[in-house]
Structure 1
Amino acid sequence: MKKHLIPSVVLAAILVAIGVVQLAVVDSANAGNDANQAPDSAAVERTRENVQLLDNIFKQTVVLITDKYVHSDDDFAAGSAAVALFKAVSDSGDTKVRLIDATGDPYKPENVAQNDFEKRGIQKLKGGAKVHEEVVSEEGKPYLRVLTPVPVVMDKCVMCHAHYAELRNGEPIGAISYRVPIK
């Protein structure tokens, strides 16, 4: 076993925190919403605030993991930990989260924008937008779709992604794509 592997307790604590956030979204839901009606602005704003909280948790976690546990390119990459975490969140309920590439040179082929929302969002983020979002209805249920930028924030990022060194400061190398139920 490698001495720099991410302790399972760190990932478990993150999953618990995310579960608390997901419960907060459900508990603060407006139970009277008709599935065929557009969600009210207060429900959208609550959902937006929860996405912002999740986004902060996820990004701070990647920085923490990189800082404390990534010391060489042989260590488990923080981006890989994020992908595993996002899969666990996505598999556990209606909230879907995934990491997508914005450079055109994805680390893994499945990490590309897969739909019009993500493709438009990547273009907007690369153009300087701080966030891309829209309210959608899927099978009669309202969701907030959000894309947030992921820039290189540490020199260690270039250990696994040498092509990131050529990007200008603050340019998104990727994005986190969220689909969160509005309740």
Structure 2
Amino acid sequence: MKDKFYIVNLFIILVLLLTSDTVVAKKRWQDSFIKPKEVAAEKSAVKAIARARLALEEADILHQAYITLIAENFTTGPGVLNAVDITEKVFEIVEKKGKYKARILSTAEKPLLSKYAPRDDFEVYAIKIILSGKSYYERVFFDYDGKDFLRASTPVSVTTKKCLVCHPTKKVGDIMGIISYTFPLEEYYK
């Protein structure tokens, strides 16, 4: 009788766990548990993430290229036209268009301006990963409100001697910052 009671209760708990959405946290990582009925959604998410990664890679190539071009061709001294100011303006335009969000972060322990400091755990960890020698760091976030997104970071290095005009403590090849990207996955599910 006692065994039957435990088996019935175990079965009830198992059914509740398998059918309850409360088992899955509000925000979960890419490798979180996915129920069998979500397999199709998972395949769609994997494809969306791959498409977002491709778009992110293309955006990063573009941003890195013009940061170097501006530094090499237009930077004449601190306070004058510089790569970071122009990059921030480009990021504002892209965000207004609804494509993605991006921002530059300093890798310094205490950035000169607070706007270049990390805002959350992802950015704190991204800086650590990039400074450890990795050239890319990402996490995928899923949200029940339909706001799934890919977050990624890439290094910003001193690529030319002209960068040293504003960053005199660095040398060519040093990492001086990262670009932190947030790509909404919604348009990539299509």
For normalisation by structure 2, the TM-score amounts to 0.69
Q: Which has the larger radius of gyration?
A: 2
Give the conservation status (yes or no) of the 8 Å contact 2:72–2:163. no
Q: How many residues align?
A: 145
For 2:142, the equivalent position in structure 1 comes to: 137
CA positional deviation for 1:43:
1.5
1:31-50 correspondence to structure 2 within 5 Å = 37-38=41-42, 39-50=44-55
For 1:60, the equivalent position in structure 2 comes to: 65
Is 1:79 aligned to residue 84 of structure 2?
yes
| 3-state secondary structure, aligned to 2:169 | helix
Is 1:170 aligned to residue 173 of structure 2?
yes
Structure 2 residue runs of 5 or longer lacking an equivalent are 1-37
Structure 1 residue runs of 5 or longer lacking an equivalent are 1-33
For 1:122, the equivalent position in structure 2 comes to: 127
1:106-159 Cα distance to aligned partner (Å, 9 max, x none): 242211111011111100110111111011124332111001111111111111
| 3-state secondary structure, aligned to 1:106 | coil
Q: Of residues 86, 90, 96 in structure 1, which corresponds to 2:101?
A: 96
Give the conservation status (yes or no) of the 8 Å contact 1:144–1:180. yes
AA paired with 1:135?
V
1:76-133 Cα distance to aligned partner (Å, 9 max, x none): 1111111121122223315111001112242422111110111111001101111110
Is 1:180 aligned to residue 186 of structure 2?
no
AA paired with 2:182?
R
Give the conservation status (yes or no) of the 8 Å contact 1:147–1:178. yes
For normalisation by structure 1, the TM-score amounts to 0.72
Give the conservation status (yes or no) of the 8 Å contact 1:126–1:171. no
Cα distance in 2 between the residues matched to 1:94 and 1:61: 19
Give the stretch that moved more between structures: 144-153 or 97-106: 97-106
- RMSD (Å), alpha carbons: 1.9
